[in-house]
Chain A
């Protein structure tokens, strides 16, 4: 069914479509619309689930860990300071191999208080063992929540579905909301391997000595690899049913069959801005190819090498910053490309921190600088005031 939906409500309705049974969350701007709509759906009996109104994000994650450990499909949502407060439990969810899905609205970290878009919150959680998928638009949000459960339950790891504050969380767009019956076929009920069950008493998450711990971690890495390997097949199954595809690395050449001198890599809503800006540049005779990167973890290294390797130059726009280094996606991309003997020069731009607009002008400036003979450097600031 085609409807005009807010990005946040798209999350809520996708959670309903996924037939989630336990939801626990704590409010934080700009995630609130997600949980308010979910609380309504549960209260109105539309969604047959329990909503646990906890006293903190740390407890929200702890509660869904408890629920998922008892074998029930679970969901939470957070943002920024809330996500940071959850940090310990993110490790716990992944280490316990629970297929929890969380919507995470990218918001800047304080101080000073800033509620606007910035990816540093989710990127700071890189090494917790969560998969992270970044969304471009409202349709992407709906589809990604559904895909996330399927991937999570396939490999027994949690997935963060990430959307930009306001630019996506509070934007209304027409989108297709699938039918329950179709989603049920794409996403059958979760069949957990082991659950808390008085009939079969086991201990979960207990002491793991050096004799065992490393193998547990090795298995988590294998699960990440499996997620990467299984993703195309899951994406195909999704496309077969719903007619849309969401590759982890989407290659959008300016001109079919030709390779532009520069590829621009973007994530999140900046991709939509870049699509428009690059189309205009192409029409004015400056072709630049676009690469939409969807995953931070598992990082699609082979795909990145295959797609970006042949370019002479690659520009990356990061709406995030690892202090003392630079943009985080650029860092990951440069690391992946480093194993190629012949590799592109990477121009790592940092832009749009704390919700500063990344406009078509910003994109054009980035392109100009990367095509110009500006030395690539380790960090290039875009849109910084003098």
Chain B
């Protein structure tokens, strides 16, 4: 099935991503969805490296690299400056990892969202601190191996629900997206760009290196995450109107977990427990979508 995406390319070859990097795929699609009036803010994350060292850059948009926890605040400052210069058209886009969003940058993101800053905040979620060598983050799922949640005691707690946190800010638009659903992803970028106020995009981005999977399964695994209802694709408008965008087949989670080295220690009971949680999460989401 041919996919229908804008032909523009604002990411060049020669970038420094690992083979199969979901974050690189996500960036390419997001840039397709944005026009050429964009300023991008990149707090510390894999993309601090991927974009290339001085004097090179792999992006054809202006980029302000910044400190790890400042994605929300730096974007707010740029927005204010563009506004006082009379430029209300340029999109200010923060591009942050899950660590920079769920954990260390949550405070400045929350501040920006509460103030209703007119920015698009994109979190590409590879479920750990990958830049620094696969340490556990607030986005690391239950049961996962990382270097700080080693196999002997893998992550015991659940992944933080960042979408609920953002919905609780009652921002006009929050959506999940996946590198396996580029048309849905690009549509969401375009929709976000058409809305004034704080927009949040949570993109599932496989990390073959950190998840211990072959690079060629990157996109397939992301699709499986959607189809198993582990990472459903949905939108939340004004913090309350939920819309599910892709109806998952509802495969059992086993296939997703068994494909990844980071989960290889999980037992049948672990998977049963996780299946229950996923089922519960899905029915909750369906209920929310029904209210809307």
Contact = CB atoms under 8 A, between A and B. Distances in A.
Interface in B220-269: none
B52 interface: yes
A71 to B, nearest CB: 7
Contacts of B54: 203, 206-209, 212
Contact of A203 (B57, B67, B74): B57
Contact of B77 (A63, A197, A206): A63
A262 to B, nearest CB: 46
A200 interface: yes
B78 A66 contact: yes
A77 interface: no
Interface residues of B, number: 46
Interface string B74-90: 11111111111100001
B196 to A, nearest CB: 16
Interface in A210-234: 212
Given A63-B76, A63-B80, A209 B62 contact: no
B104 to A, nearest CB: 10
B48 interface: yes
Interface string A7-40: 0000000000000011010000000000000000
A54 interface: yes
B38 interface: yes
A206 B51 contact: yes
A178 to B, nearest CB: 23
Interface in A60-76: 60, 62-72, 74
Nearest to B114: A55
B111 A59 contact: yes
Interface residues of A, number: 43
B61 interface: yes
A89 B61 CA distance: 24
Contacts of B60: 201
Interface centre among B65, B74, B108 (most CB of A within 10 A): B74
Interface string A52-96: 111110111011111111111010000000000000110010000
A59 B49 contact: no
Interface of A: 21-22, 24, 48-50, 52-56, 58-60, 62-72, 74, 88-89, 92, 196-198, 200-209, 212
Interface of B: 36-39, 41, 48-49, 51-57, 59-67, 69-70, 72-85, 90, 107-108, 110-111, 114-115
Given A65-B66, A72-B80, 6 more contacts: A22-B77, A56-B107, A66-B75, A69-B74, A202-B57, A206-B48
